[in-house]
Amino acid sequence: MIRIAIQAKGRLSEESLELLKEAGIQVDDTKRKFLSQSRSFPAELLFLRDDDIPQAVALGVADIGIVGYNEVLEREQDVEIVDRLGFGPCRISLAVPKTVDYPGLEWFNGKRIATSYPNILGKFLKEKGIDAKISVITGSVEIAPTVGMSDAIFDIVSSGGTLVSNGLKEVEKIVFSEAVVISGRNPDAEKVKVWEQIKFRINAVRDSRNMKYLLMNVPNDRIDEAIAILPAMRSPTILPLAQSGWSSMHSVVAEDVLWDKIELLKEIGAEGILVLS
Query: Would you list the DSSP string of 149-178?
Result: S-SEEEEEESSSHHHHHTTEEEEEEEEEE-
Strand 43-48's sheet: what is its strand order? Answer: 35-37, 43-48, 2-7, 64-68, 179-184, 79-84
Give, in degrees to the nearest 5, the angle at Cα 88 between 154 and 118.
25
Write the DSSP symbol of residue 195.
H
Please tell me the predicted confidence (pLDDT) of residue 209.
87
Q: At what angle do helices 11-22 and 189-208 cross, to 10 degrees?
A: 90
Domains defined for the chain, CATH in brackets? 2-86+179-208 (3.40.190.10), 90-177 (3.40.190.10), 211-276 (3.30.70.120)
Q: Exposed (0-12), middle (13-18) or buried (19+): which is 15, by Cβ within 10 Å?
A: middle
Please state the φ and ψ torsions of residue 168, each to the nearest 5 degrees: -120, 160
- The Cα–Cα gap between 61 and 243 comes to 62
- The Cα–Cα gap between 67 and 54 comes to 8
Please state the φ and ψ torsions of residue 30, each to the nearest 5 degrees: -75, -20
Please tell me the predicted confidence (pLDDT) of residue 98.
97
pLDDT in tens, the chain (277 residues): 999 999 999 989 999 999 999 999 988 766 567 999 998 999 999 999 999 999 999 999 999 999 999 999 999 999 999 999 999 999 999 999 999 999 999 999 999 999 999 999 999 999 999 999 999 999 899 999 999 999 999 999 998 999 999 999 999 999 999 999 999 998 899 999 999 999 999 999 998 888 999 999 999 999 999 999 986 667 899 999 999 999 999 999 999 999 999 999 999 999 999 999 8
Helix, strand, or coil (residue 92): strand
Contact 214, 253 (CB under 8 A): yes
Helix, strand, or coil (residue 69): helix
Contact 96, 168 (CB under 8 A): yes
Of 40, 30, 53, 63, the residue nearest 179 (C-alpha): 53
Please tell me the predicted confidence (pLDDT) of residue 172.
98
| Backbone torsion region of residue 194, taken as left when φ is above 0, otherwise alpha when ψ lies between -120 and 50, otherwise beta | alpha
- The Cα–Cα gap between 241 and 37 comes to 48
* Pairing status of strand 35-37 against strand 43-48: antiparallel
Please tell me the predicted confidence (pLDDT) of residue 274.
97
